[in-house]
Amino acid sequence: MPPVPGIAAEAVESRTDRAAGGQVQVKVSDTGEEPFAVTAVALDSPGFVPLPAVALTASFVPGRRIDLPTPYGDPVCDTAAEPAAARLTVVRPGGAVEELRVPLAAGALTEIHTRLCAAVAVEELVTVTVADLVPDGDALTGRLVLTRDGDDDATVTAARVEGNVLYAAEAELPLELAGGEREVAAGVVFRTARCDPHALAETKQPYLMPLAVTVDGGPEVLLDLPLDDAQRGQLRELTDRICVPG
């Protein structure tokens, strides 16, 4: 795809982006000699379902670079993430509006695509659930369950689970679903990790906890530990009970 004179773009995933999920920063740079404004941005990648453009206002002068938060859609795993572009609505100094497709340096998108598609492949083999979650003293206890989907006899192992800023998670791991087995389960425990107001107010994804899974001894793949609305409510109640004792 041809370059756009005076404009360069790069996709970057910050730690905050990865924690929140579903977005990258499109770093747009004014590499020319004239100012311009960007009023909308969207990703254009064959490896992701397209999403509508995000409206914003960002003013550029020569040499200025601005990070534009930009969501990405579900992965399309039968194609690569690159070549990719940033679709920008650009307003020139005289008021002319242009819809531009700017080539995007997108190594970060390829990394995200690889990570998400690895998770999709695991989720086609097994369903992970958290079941029977109940209060137990200063914790919630339940079961982590792996259920095989389909006839693939690959050995799937839940290797480790991680909590986050607000919650500690522990489980009786490794939990192995061997070939021929349909379902296995292990105990899982959640505890409140922090009660300080900063953590409670600033954590953007309080229920996002990664579960590392391997297939036939291969590399670890990170899945989001599935927690339904009722279980998230139980975690909120646990925080209220531990952090605001009656």
Shared domain check, 88 and 59? yes
Q: How far is CA 16 from the centre of its chain?
A: 10
Q: Give 241's contacts (C-beta < 8 A, 6+ positions apart).
A: none
**pTM of the shown model:** 0.84
Helix (H, G, I), strand (E, B) or coil at 128: strand
What percent of the chain has a predicted confidence (pLDDT) above 70? 97
Q: Which two tokens stand for residue 192?
A: 């409140």
Shared domain check, 181 and 131? yes
Shared domain check, 235 and 161? yes
Residues 71-116 pLDDT 10s: 999 999 999 999 999 999 999 999 999 999 999 999 999 999 999 9
Closest Cα to residue 61, out of 44, 36, 38? Answer: 36
Shared domain check, 227 and 142? yes
Q: Which residues pair with 11 in a beta bridge?
A: 26
Residue 52, domain extent: 7-118
Shared domain check, 224 and 130? yes
When divided into structural domains, the chain yields a total of 2
Give me the CATH number covering residue 168.
Answer: 2.60.40
Q: Flag whether 1 is in a domain.
A: no
Q: Which residues pair with 8 in a beta bridge?
A: 29
- In this prediction, residues 56-76 reach a mean pLDDT of 97
